[in-house]
Amino acid sequence: MTTPFQYEPGSATGPVPPPQCPAHSTGIGPGGLRRLYGPEAEADPAGLYEKLRAEHGTVAPVLLHEDVPAWLVLGHSENLHMTRTPSQFSRDSRRWRGLQDGTVAPNHPLAPLFTWQPVCSFADGAEHERLRGAVTDSMARIDTRGVRRHINRYSNRLVNDFCREGRAELVSQFAERLPMMVMCAIIGMLEEYDDRLVQAARDMTRGSETAVASNAYVIGVLDRLVQRRRVAPAEDFASWLVEHPAGLTDKEISEHLRVVLIVAYETTTNLIANVLRMVLTDPRFRARLSGGHMTVPEAVEQTLWDEPPFTSVLGRWAVGDTELGGQQIKAGDALIVGIASANTDPAVRPDLTVSMEGNRAHMSFSSGPHECPGQDIGRAIADVGVDALLMRLPDLELGVDESKLTREGNFMARHLVDLPAAFAPTPQQEIDAEPLPAVARSRPQPEWEVSSAANRVSAPMPAAHIPAPARPGEPHPVPTVIPAQRSAPARIWHAVKRWWSGA
């Protein structure tokens, strides 16, 4: 079969240099294709997207690790079409021609991302519906109010660890820890939370030499959890998957737990770090937050436009020969969802300095049937966590010059290496000694309680303030665990059962 690429691994163009070869340090690879990995791409991904857009339009041929060819979809409308048309662009990685002919090795650095697993994110059609239904039904059993209390409690525990020091490193001491603590509680594995799990979760998506081993470690932890829940079910997400009438196998359960844990953790860690950086460095946002004219959820949403947690995701394979963005796509070609590039597409954002307040048409959680299932959990963790941090440390400021901040990344995401902050030392705060509620619902709750970006408050709520009675037609406020959250009155965002709907 012919290929639209001028180069394929192992072709007559020449052998592929070994991974450590200096040839991989340049941004141009065999066939004149631009690499989506390496120092040049990772230092300035936005600049790379603009070069590709100028050279190829809204869909561009690129090289992944080990110079494996793929299509990067840059345009907003093209990404929407691709993600919403599974009949043309499948999630089943076994369709990849590179895997079929052996040009993509099983131990490829990105193998944890593309190796087929028995999960809904790699399925289409009826099998996708069966597996997705089990996850959706189990998610519907989560007590959203209880989870928000978990987030608030864990946030304040983390702040207690450094509040007396007058300084903190907010990536390693807060952003990387809070999401894993919350997700472990939801899944039912709090006893497994430790630094090793945090490190493995971050490493397995980076295309590193240890990514495969990190993936194996996480799977081992989850396999043991499933075995325990088969014998002793509890009120947690793992047990609900075990008990679901869809009859998932142990392998299907552990792989779904891995998807939920890793995707929710990775995206939320990056989201929290990026929101905090924006709040601490962008005078537009810090001034508005301090003045009470902007809620934390609004800062979260702007961050999702400007610095999405994932910049791109490998995950579509052409079912047959087709056309996209003026390019001829061949059956078995790999395509990459270009999240960051779609969010900066001049067709939807001609001026990147204009606020996107109230606009949630970004691609940060993808779209279509496989839209990110954990987006509302992620938003809640970022919303409540950042709010709790700012309430405890209202004078928080960047501890170094902004120019000193550095990032590491790969084609999939860019991570803040650190975010030093300074503040007036403050005493630890007593944490509510009452046991936290279970993550299971005790009664029907139709919607997630996530603070709305549309509602405003004039000033932060004092920690000991008791909310005033609601006006007619508004939900009755509920006192929070001290310190109270700054967020505006709650409003419905999404029904839990729509998390996986792709609507």
Predicted confidence at residue 425, as pLDDT, reads 96
Q: How far apart are CA 258 and CA 264, in angstroms?
A: 10
Tell me, what's the pLDDT at 377? 85
Q: Report the percentage of the chain scoring pLDDT > 70.
A: 79
**What pLDDT does 25 receive?**
52
- Whether pTM exceeds 0.85: no
Question: What does the pLDDT average to over 436-464?
Answer: 43
Listed range (139-153, 281-295, 338-352) with the worst mean pLDDT: 281-295
DSSP state of 56: H
Q: Looking at residue 292, what is its pLDDT?
A: 63
Percent helix / strand / coil, the chain, rounded to 5: 45, 10, 45
- Residues 345/76, Cβ–Cβ less than 8 Å: yes
Q: Mean pLDDT throughout 393-410?
A: 91
Q: Which helix (H) or strand (E) holds 324?
A: strand 322-324
Cis previous bond, 460, omega within 30: no
Per DSSP bridges, beta strands 334-337 and 397-398 are unpaired
* Alpha-carbon gap, residue 92 to 109, rounded angstroms: 19
Q: Helix 283-290 crosses helix 250-281 at what angle (to 10 degrees)?
A: 90
| pLDDT number for residue 303 | 92
CA 107, chain centre distance (Å): 24
Q: Reduce the DSSP state of residue 307 to 3 states and report it.
A: coil
Mean pLDDT, range 85-107, rounded to an integer = 93
437 band by pLDDT with thresholds 50, 70 and 90:
low
Q: Are 318 and 330 in contact (CB under 8 A)?
A: yes
Quote the pLDDT of residue 491. Answer: 31
Is the pLDDT reported for residue 400 higher than 80?
A: yes
Instruction: Name the helix (H) or strand (E) containing 323.
Output: strand 322-324
Measured CA distances, 173 to 10, 64, 155, 405 (Å): 45, 32, 10, 16
Residue with tokens 């959250």: 485
Residues in the chain: 503
Average pLDDT over residues 195-207: 76
Q: How confident is the model at residue 33 (pLDDT cuts 50, 70, 90)?
A: very high
Residue with tokens 């709040």: 279
pLDDT of 487 reads 35
Provide the pLDDT for residue 494. Answer: 37
Q: What is the DSSP letter of 171?
A: I
The mean per-residue pLDDT over the stretch 75-102 comes to 95
Measure the CA–CA gap between 503 and 375, rounded to whole angstroms: 13
- In angstroms, the CA 379 to CA 100 distance is 39
Q: What is the average pLDDT value for the chain, to the nearest integer?
A: 81
